Amino acid sequence: MGGMLGYARVSTGDQDVAGQSIRLKEAGAIKVFTDVMSGKSMARPGLADLMAYARKGDTLAVVRLDRLGRSLTELLATVEHLRDQGLALVSLEEKIDTSSAAGELIFHMFGAIAHFERRLISERTRDGIAAARVKGKCPGRQPLDRCKLDAALMLVAARVSPTEAARQLGIGRSTIYREMRRLGVERPM
């Protein structure tokens, strides 16, 4: 049986990981790794250090599951990564332990719910696109106005900068540069 490693994360420097660290040590964590950064950030050096330190059979403990991932999909991916490395997960608040059959069942149920949610979003998107087409709308990126693009290239040929040409004609600067590359047109000096 491996050891229990704690992971604590807070979102801002104004917050303190001490409370989480104390609870994790009381639960039996032999070492606690921490991050002080938003859940939006995928870069978590403390979690990466924990993963590098952990050995097969160890358990990663968190106070709450939201400390480990900001979405169900991200959380499930992290748990799958833990499982691949031979690590279990314990969440103190939710009383989940993936080393037990019941804890693993709960995570499989979470996975099924996440899959269901992704399918619902996909179906709603398709329904929305179909409804827009019925109303005569054309969803997605609008086709490029060839006349505007030709006018922009003439302005560029007349020594107007691509940025200024894009601003005058209301099209994206990157669109002009892309078309210039496609046609082999050199940038004006």
Q: What is the pLDDT of residue 142?
A: 76
4 has which bridge partners?
29, 59
Q: What is the pLDDT of residue 41?
A: 61
Active site residue: 11, 99, 100, 174, which one?
A: 11
- Judged by DSSP in three states, 160 sits in coil
Q: Is 161 a catalytic residue?
A: no
Please report the sign of the dihedral spanned by the C-alpha atoms of residue 80, residue 86, residue 91, residue 94.
Answer: positive
Q: Alpha carbon of 38 to those of 63, 69, 158: distances in Å?
A: 17, 10, 49
- What does the DSSP 8-state code read for residue 97? E
Q: What is the pLDDT of residue 39?
A: 56
Phi then psi for residue 109, to 5 deg, are -65, -40
Tokens of 171: 């099209």
Q: Where are the beta strands (DSSP E) in 18-168?
A: 29-36, 59-62, 88-91, 96-97
**CB-side exposure of 164: number of CA atoms within 13 Å?**
10
First to last CA, the chain: 69
Phi then psi for residue 103, to 5 deg, are -65, -40
Tokens of 92: 């103190």
pLDDT along the chain (189 residues), means of 10: 89 80 95 81 84 94 86 80 89 88 81 81 91 87 84 91 92 90 77
Neighbours of 83 (CB within 10 A): 14
